[in-house]
Chains A and B, each alone.
Chain A
């Protein structure tokens, strides 16, 4: 009887055991991973924050419910006050309790190149002692610290030479703050993350609050999610070094991102990768809105949308997809958006060729390149490893449709951890969509040809209409025509800047020449047009070219003059002249030299209507060759006049000018021989003028098109 009963109990126990084992949810393999939330960058009054480390750790642990917190005081405070450093180290040790809380401590190196935190090193670092990035990298060697790039704003700082790869640096700097700052929405640094990854840094994504007040963990819900085996210092540091992390604006979302079964933070060999995404969040409102898979140069490779409550507590968001990397060095991370707008960015999974060499920034350096236009194929070769590479060969080729065109090869040496630029001159023999590729041949594995990089390039047809903008005479708006040139290129024109004298060579093939008024004062170039230049311009117009002259006002300054432009007008035989005056507009009780202008009915007829008025600043009016009202002059088309409340005034008292009492003529056109001359009161094509709330861009395009259409 007893025997039968114990057998029954054994069976029950076995069934229960199996049940429990399978009910743990996932297989035993997965059950060992746990998710912890906290972050690594904050301050107390030991530097420029609030309260003490004890209060900070206790607050983070008990009030904010963080699993870990890093206090990273500004380095120079710690170096000046070693007693505070020792105290911080001791407090962090005291507050670390396996299973309950981990207290990290370190210093923030606050250099002009960018801020970097180093935790777990035995000493503090400071921008006053480690005065350069190289100094810091050398100092970190052997110190067993873990470092992160802090709030790397691309528009705010040099970002360590735009994230130029550093072999030594990559060993210790394992993380990058994609989100930083005590705000609920703080994922500001994705662009920098992408740049760092492109240039070879292997860094994981984290988020920090960078607290300077007594609000560690409660300033916002932002956290760094860490996937580790247990809540101990050793397990968390292992996870941080392995980059099993993600930056999250949500306080408790659990993200698994694997490729071929390997976690985010790992490097896979080149070949197909089967990716898996698994997202859950304990809070019902935090379902997944969408997930983007991002890769090299920030390209979004695919987008998944969540439906219903996918990603919430009851229904995990799960997707799997295969990818075959096209480049020799690729990285992939997830950008997740929850229903409430919270953004999560994971560490990447890398897929790498067998070589330690990779290429970044492959490009053809001629924007809007035309068929046959000479330029350079460029890229940087990065040696991610510690072995010097002598005789690296980069083979360039281009593919257009079915046609494959080898271009040539360059050979170079790339030292350990170095970034070396390579370039090869090239003129594309075809137009259309072309793919340029570069195969990097590693000298240690010369038969390996799979380390390939490619970039699409659009080549424009050979002969595009050429527009020349003169910047060789200290012209007004020199240096600010870049946006105008880009707009021209987009519209299918070839915009060219002339930096020297105006010659027949420069104007050969040009259909439009734009010359703004030379400015007085300090200049590196001549401010006058000599006889031969006037002759070239004269012949250009006589041969059918279109000349656009842009003036400037006298601005109460007797040194200002429009004589040079009038000399050109006289020389080509135009009956228009620029007035030595200023077009002004009444704005309340004041008078402004920034005026709004409108197309006349004739202007609308030839150019087409504009959706917004044109703005001119410091413009002069256009008169006839006797400085009379241009409107009365036959053979001249008045295109644009000043808007309501405008007039012209002789502010420097010099003249000669025509004083328009209202609606001054600010743009007119005259056919001269086979050519056409347009006079505008001011250059309206500088980068200051091409704004979405102004009609200037539209006006210039329409003007150029009209001049081209003859």
Chain B
């Protein structure tokens, strides 16, 4: 047996050791609950559908952001086509494992908002690193509408393109005509550029696609709208819509200055089968490749009947509510940076999408680029007349229904009025649910 001093010393040491171990364990435990401890990075995941050249440009931007923000790691992951992207997001939400943020169409976001899965970007406006009133209003107003649900801004606009009319300038010049501005001029130009040899048409003035987008271009330029002001009833089958669809049907069957194809028209345009078609500003590179310098081509706004209109489509950036506060902050920082003037200008110049900030148009690099690319500048000028799709969850289905109606009318299975009335019935039933 020893004197009482010796056991005391051993106990003290034991207690210290136990204490150190406990504290260490506690710290480790705490560290496990937080993805940020002093000096470590935040990782956010960003799911998108930008492949090929678009993906490359996005990767460049991500790399630049990370250089400027070494404490944030952005894992930008390509998920495939837009269809695949939405499916994966829905599956991830169901499995309660969504990414931190994603690229998403407004009508997908409507669905996410309904189930409370979205952290509204508005929540970040007021705090440090937020957006001032001027900065908020710097986003094109029409684009902001697309990001707003129940009066709150949930997302920021990201890659948007505007509908345009692409025409064979060489053929127009041969016909001694100016690029058409109105429906009437479009018809006259298409007629002049249609070539008939030995009873066979060897070149058409225009090509159409039996889909909702072509219909929308003419619906809006005829002063029509998809839905009535309440947003609960179809308005596309009104006189403006019927006229729009009838005009396309007449170009095909009555005036015989157009034909239609189910897919993209760039190849036909480049091959000289058609002298005009509708596309979006995001398809310049495809047109360029298809034409390959064989002839001069130009871009103009969609010809109008009642007044100019430029349908705009594309996705926005959304942050998911299940991310941790640190992840959300990091995602907000990234998306704010990505959509600020310099970055949106870089994005626009390299992809053909439109810059989402008005101030981007005044940046030197943007002005220089527009001067050097007057063709692309035309679509930017159309932004004043932008119109967007309704942001409702049923929108994908509604697009499908309207496309079917357009196809029926092209095939002369139904008159434009019959086809649109039938579609309106289906749409109203959907909206009533």
Residue A33 interfacial (CB < 8 Å): no
> Could you tell me the distance between the alpha carbons of A431 and B391 in the complex, rounded to whole angstroms?
65
Contacts of B414 in A (CB 8 A): 688
Contact between B81 and A688 (Cβ–Cβ < 8 Å)?
Answer: no
Decide: A522 near B247, CB < 8 A? Known: A112-B263, A480-B253, A687-B412. yes
Decide: A76 near B255, CB < 8 A? Known: A365-B199, A376-B198. no
In whole Å, how far is B283's beta carbon from the nearest beta carbon of chain A? 12
Contacts of B250 in A (CB 8 A): 479
For window 471-490 of A, CB contacts with B under 8 Å fall at 471, 474, 478-480
Residue B362 interfacial (CB < 8 Å): no
Residue A48 interfacial (CB < 8 Å): yes
Per-residue interface assignment for chain A, residues 143 to 167, with 1 indicating a CB less than 8 Å from any chain B CB and 0 otherwise: 0000000000000111000000000
Residue in A112, A423, A480, A617 whose CB lies within 8 Å of B198? A423
Contact between B255 and A157 (Cβ–Cβ < 8 Å)?
Answer: no
Contact between B289 and A158 (Cβ–Cβ < 8 Å)?
Answer: no
Per-residue interface assignment for chain A, residues 474 to 509, with 1 indicating a CB less than 8 Å from any chain B CB and 0 otherwise: 100011100000000000000000000000000000
Contact between B52 and A158 (Cβ–Cβ < 8 Å)?
Answer: no
Residue in B188, B252, B261, B412 whose CB lies within 8 Å of A158? B261
Contact between B415 and A688 (Cβ–Cβ < 8 Å)?
Answer: yes
Contact between B188 and A524 (Cβ–Cβ < 8 Å)?
Answer: yes
Residue of A nearest to B270 (CB): A132
For window 660-710 of A, CB contacts with B under 8 Å fall at 687-688
Contact between A132 and B267 (Cβ–Cβ < 8 Å)?
Answer: yes
Contact between A524 and B255 (Cβ–Cβ < 8 Å)?
Answer: yes
Contact between B412 and A128 (Cβ–Cβ < 8 Å)?
Answer: no
For window 85-115 of A, CB contacts with B under 8 Å fall at 111-113
Residue A263 interfacial (CB < 8 Å): no
Contact between B83 and A80 (Cβ–Cβ < 8 Å)?
Answer: no
> Could you tell me the distance between the alpha carbons of A48 and B87 in the complex, rounded to whole angstroms?
10
Residue in B254, B267, B286 whose CB lies within 8 Å of A478? B254
> Could you tell me the distance between the alpha carbons of A81 and B84 in the complex, rounded to whole angstroms?
15
Per-residue interface assignment for chain A, residues 64 to 94, with 1 indicating a CB less than 8 Å from any chain B CB and 0 otherwise: 0000000000001100110000000000000
> Could you tell me the distance between the alpha carbons of A688 and B250 in the complex, rounded to whole angstroms?
14
Residue A47 interfacial (CB < 8 Å): yes
Per-residue interface assignment for chain B, residues 184 to 226, with 1 indicating a CB less than 8 Å from any chain A CB and 0 otherwise: 1001100100000011000000000000000000000000000
Contact between B80 and A479 (Cβ–Cβ < 8 Å)?
Answer: no
Contacts of B183 in A (CB 8 A): 522
Residue A15 interfacial (CB < 8 Å): no
Contacts of A156 in B (CB 8 A): 262
Per-residue interface assignment for chain A, residues 521 to 561, with 1 indicating a CB less than 8 Å from any chain B CB and 0 otherwise: 01010000000000000000000000000000000000000
Residue in B253, B254, B264 whose CB lies within 8 Å of A112? B264
Residue A138 interfacial (CB < 8 Å): no
Q: How large is the interface on A (under 10, 10 to 19, 20 to 34, 35 or more residues)?
A: 20 to 34
Residue of A nearest to B81 (CB): A48
Residue B256 interfacial (CB < 8 Å): yes
> Could you tell me the distance between the alpha carbons of A688 and B413 in the complex, rounded to whole angstroms?
7
For window 278-303 of B, CB contacts with A under 8 Å fall at 286, 289-290
Residue B337 interfacial (CB < 8 Å): no
Contact between A80 and B263 (Cβ–Cβ < 8 Å)?
Answer: no
Residue B51 interfacial (CB < 8 Å): yes
Contacts of A480 in B (CB 8 A): 253-254, 412
> Could you tell me the distance between the alpha carbons of A225 and B252 in the complex, rounded to whole angstroms?
43
Decide: A48 near B255, CB < 8 A? Known: A376-B198, A480-B412. no
Interface Cβ pair total, 8 Å cutoff: 65
Residue B55 interfacial (CB < 8 Å): yes
Per-residue interface assignment for chain B, residues 75 to 100, with 1 indicating a CB less than 8 Å from any chain A CB and 0 otherwise: 00010110110000000000000000
Contact between A48 and B80 (Cβ–Cβ < 8 Å)?
Answer: yes
In whole Å, how far is A361's beta carbon from the nearest beta carbon of chain B? 13
Contacts of A522 in B (CB 8 A): 183-184, 187, 247
Residue A455 interfacial (CB < 8 Å): no
For window 400-425 of B, CB contacts with A under 8 Å fall at 412, 414-415, 418
In whole Å, how far is B208's beta carbon from the nearest beta carbon of chain A? 14
Decide: A76 near B51, CB < 8 A? Known: A48-B80, A480-B412, A688-B414. yes
> Could you tell me the distance between the alpha carbons of A471 and B252 in the complex, rounded to whole angstroms?
15
> Could you tell me the distance between the alpha carbons of A478 and B257 in the complex, rounded to whole angstroms?
13
In whole Å, how far is B77's beta carbon from the nearest beta carbon of chain A? 11
In whole Å, how far is A274's beta carbon from the nearest beta carbon of chain B? 42
Residue of A nearest to B265 (CB): A112
Contact between B415 and A113 (Cβ–Cβ < 8 Å)?
Answer: no
For window 129-150 of A, CB contacts with B under 8 Å fall at 131-132
Decide: A688 near B52, CB < 8 A? Known: A113-B263, A132-B267, A157-B262. no
In whole Å, how far is A539's beta carbon from the nearest beta carbon of chain B? 29
> Could you tell me the distance between the alpha carbons of A113 and B263 in the complex, rounded to whole angstroms?
7
> Could you tell me the distance between the alpha carbons of A524 and B256 in the complex, rounded to whole angstroms?
11
Contacts of B255 in A (CB 8 A): 479, 524
Contacts of B51 in A (CB 8 A): 76, 80, 128
Contact between B55 and A80 (Cβ–Cβ < 8 Å)?
Answer: yes
In whole Å, how far is A159's beta carbon from the nearest beta carbon of chain B? 11
> Could you tell me the distance between the alpha carbons of A312 and B187 in the complex, rounded to whole angstroms?
63
Contacts of A81 in B (CB 8 A): 78
In whole Å, how far is A471's beta carbon from the nearest beta carbon of chain B? 8
Residue of A nearest to B184 (CB): A522
Contacts of A423 in B (CB 8 A): 198
> Could you tell me the distance between the alpha carbons of A406 and B78 in the complex, rounded to whole angstroms?
66
In whole Å, how far is B396's beta carbon from the nearest beta carbon of chain A? 16
Contact between A48 and B83 (Cβ–Cβ < 8 Å)?
Answer: yes
Per-residue interface assignment for chain B, residues 302 to 342, with 1 indicating a CB less than 8 Å from any chain A CB and 0 otherwise: 00000000000000000000000000000000000000000
Decide: A113 near B80, CB < 8 A? Known: A480-B412, A522-B184, A524-B191. no
Per-residue interface assignment for chain A, residues 36 to 80, with 1 indicating a CB less than 8 Å from any chain B CB and 0 otherwise: 000000000001100000000000000000000000000011001
Contact between A479 and B253 (Cβ–Cβ < 8 Å)?
Answer: yes
Residue with the greatest number of chain B CB neighbours at <10 A, chosen from A48, A113, A479, A687: A479
Decide: A76 near B52, CB < 8 A? Known: A376-B198, A522-B184, A688-B412. yes
CB-based closest 9 A-B pairs: A112-B263, A479-B253, A479-B254, A478-B254, A128-B52, A112-B264, A687-B412, A522-B184, A48-B84
- Tell me the A residues contacting B by CB distance below 8 Å: 47-48, 76-77, 80-81, 111-113, 128, 131-132, 156-158, 365, 376, 423, 471, 474, 478-480, 522, 524, 617, 687-688
Additional A-B contact list (16), CB under 8 Å, known A76-B52, A132-B267, A522-B247? A77-B80, A80-B52, A80-B55, A112-B262, A112-B264, A128-B52, A131-B286, A158-B263, A365-B199, A474-B254, A479-B255, A479-B256, A480-B253, A480-B254, A687-B412, A688-B414
**What are 26 of the A-B contact pairs (CB < 8 Å)?**
A48-B81, A48-B83, A48-B84, A76-B80, A111-B263, A112-B263, A113-B267, A128-B51, A128-B52, A131-B286, A131-B289, A156-B262, A158-B263, A423-B198, A474-B254, A478-B254, A479-B250, A479-B252, A479-B256, A480-B253, A480-B254, A480-B412, A522-B184, A524-B187, A688-B412, A688-B415
